Amino acid sequence: MTGPAQGPLAGVRVVELASLAPAPFGCMMLADLGADIVRVDRPGPRVAPAPPTGGPLQRSRRTTALDLKSPTGVAELLRLAAHADVLVEAYRPGVAERLGFGPDVCLARNPRLVYARMTGWGQSGPLAQRAGHDIDYIALSGALEPLGRAGQAPHAPLNLLGDFAGGGMLLAVGVLAALLERQRSGAGQVVDAAMVDGSALLTAFLHGMRGAGMWSGPRGTNMLDGGSPCYDTYATADGLFMAVGALEPAFYAQLVLGLGLDGDTLPDRNDPANAEKLRQIFADRFAQRTRAEWTAIFDEVDACVTPVLAPAEAPAHPHNVARGTFTEVGGEVQPAPAPRFGRTPAAVPRPAPDPERDRVDVDAVLAGWAD
């Protein structure tokens, strides 16, 4: 069985060398959009710390197994690369070259190949050979320091910024851009996707605010980092939370209305000296009702106020249900493919392949890729 023949990337052939979170996420996005992805695993039984093989990041793939430390395994990989549109690897710089399937070798076999490399620090620079994790990449890019409450240590938002937004999604964008450029030039190229670069890119708006003098205070004292009582979260009577984003005057007026407060008696929100006093007034009022009660109130008021949902709750929210934001794959609820396409919609994702039961050999892959 080949990949789904549906979606804007239908017919794009991708070889993915098995790795951890960022590259699999980028490849999941490509698979969601219709690319035919073959994941290359190590042969034999899986032992820690082998990459996870189940769950959303591994959906809609086929899998094969090659020993890339052996000449035979490398030769088989090069056969795949010769017929692929994209090859994705996430080794440290120089490892693929040392094993015999670096970009020069692969592009010599297939000049139209997009050779995508996912790393933390990139292919060059003094840290290129160093280990790291999401928290390290966002620390060095300037994305971590602004996150957290005033007077407290920076707090990483899971591994969303480095691994996924600044990593896997950057990888997918790079691959798509290289495929588009190939239509004009007829030539492939190397895509160097680094999490430190991608997480730095995510701070573009913040740099703009700093340049405009709109972000000058320490962590937790600015408009979008918890410094403003109009852009914060508040505990409800049942220990849950509501999110408030009522920055603009019209939304602020609706917030005050929904809370049942008298705007004429409230402290001036434009005076920073009143921030904590106003925050306490909001906190006291939110604490008087449950999250469900506040949700019902603000469902009728356009105030940029929403319930803070846990990941397990989000799929059941009426808006997410109506849009199909989540889907069920192999009995597991997970995010649905995005974005949406009017003429070439994505297929329903397939469950992740079992690394033992669902393996195919290279000949079977190439037979399906026959031009």
Residue type for position 66: L
Distance in angstroms (rounded) separating the CA atoms of residues 67 and 74: 7
Would you say the pTM of this structure is higher than 0.85? yes
Catalytic residue among 163, 197, 225, 232: 163
Residue type for position 326: F
Distance in angstroms (rounded) separating the CA atoms of residues 344 and 6: 7
Residue type for position 240: L
Catalytic residue among 67, 83, 133, 358: 133
Per-residue pLDDT of the chain (371 residues; tens, 9 = 90+): 444 468 999 999 999 999 999 999 999 999 999 999 999 999 876 655 556 667 999 999 999 999 999 999 999 999 999 999 999 999 999 999 999 999 999 999 999 999 999 999 999 999 999 999 999 999 999 999 999 999 999 999 999 999 999 999 999 999 999 999 999 999 999 999 999 999 999 999 999 999 999 998 899 999 999 999 999 999 999 999 999 999 999 999 999 999 999 999 999 999 999 999 999 999 999 999 999 999 999 999 999 999 999 999 999 999 999 999 999 999 999 999 999 999 999 999 999 998 878 899 999 999 999 86
Angle at which helices 291-298 and 249-259 cross, to 10°: 130
- What CATH number should be reported for the domain whose range is 231-310? 3.30.1540.10
Question: Is 83 designated active site?
Answer: no
Question: Do the two domains 13-202+337-368 and 231-310 of this chain adopt the same fold?
Answer: no
Domains of the chain, residue spans:
13-202+337-368, 231-310
Q: From 3.40.50.1980, 3.30.470.20, 3.40.50.300, 3.40.50.10540, which CATH number describes the 13-202+337-368 domain?
A: 3.40.50.10540
Enter the tokens of residue 109.
């076999």
Distance in angstroms (rounded) separating the CA atoms of residues 272 and 153: 22
Q: Which residues of 44-82 are buried (b: 16+ CB within 10 A; e: fewer)?
A: eeeeeeebebeebbbbbbbbbbbebeeeebbebbbebbe
Distance in angstroms (rounded) separating the CA atoms of residues 15 and 356: 18
Question: Is 271 designated active site?
Answer: no
